[in-house]
Amino acid sequence: MDIKDARQQIDSIDSQLVTLFEQRLLLIEAIAKYKDEHHLPLIDEARDEEIIAKHKENCSQTQWAPYIESYMKQVVATSNEFLKEHMHKHIFLIGMPGAGKTTVGKMLAKELGRDFYDLDQTIQDKVGKSVQNIFIYDGKDAFSEYEYETIKELIHNKPSVIATGGGTVTSEKTVNLMRNNGLVVFVNRDVNHILDDLDLEIRPLVKESIEYIFNVYEERYPLYEEVAHIKIGNEGSITDAVQEIIEALPNTEK
């Protein structure tokens, strides 16, 4: 076979692949509609892994398995991006304690006609302990697991606005859960302004020292930026911050 014939055959195969992928996207669009109507999580990681593994194992040439795996991962990833564009998503607010996530979140939820959840409060109601006592008696890892499991439950509700804790972004699996099932918005506020308003008596987790708060801010700021789909400043009025978020949202979320 000469190179011209080989290229013609490749072109023909590529055309078939495109046609088949278009059919796949049509089916995913139908799945997106069903998931939206029944408030199902956006991404099913277990099924995605099953699809990739199945085609890798069924590969006719063992030495090609890594390439089949890579190909299927790209197919699944692209399909999931398409799925995200055809579903309403939860909005997760991240940022430092005192950045205004709860206040902004409540107003944002009202403007969008959505339910609002404060993650810390939801965990406290569920566990029957304050956040402080969970840290003291159960430990940081246990609280992180509570965050993950609570978000996992909340994403089965209709699309909502969820204000997370300041340290939620430190858990990779929780970050993946949020990014796979919604839009993550970084509500940023200058640490000096946070300190001006922060009542250290009612925020026991950050009352150790001003230096501690600055260190936490410097440590987490890169994480907040890395995790977020959208970043907004909360230095003026709450109304301005909410409007900035709404303007940055995809049209499907407004």
**Closest by Cα among 192, 194, 179 to 230:** 179
Q: Please write down the long-range contacts of 117-121, taking CB distance under 8 Å and 24 or more positions apart.
A: 117/154, 117/160, 117/161, 117/162, 117/163, 118/163, 119/147, 119/150, 119/151, 119/162, 119/163, 119/164, 119/165, 119/168, 120/165
**Rounded average pLDDT over 56-77:** 95
- The 10s digit of each residue's pLDDT in 186-239 is 999 988 887 777 655 445 444 556 777 888 889 999 999 999 999 999 988 999
Q: Please calculate the CA angle 11-29-110 and round it to the nearest 5 degrees.
A: 140
- The 10s digit of each residue's pLDDT in 118-134 is 999 999 999 999 999 99
**Model pTM score:** 0.82
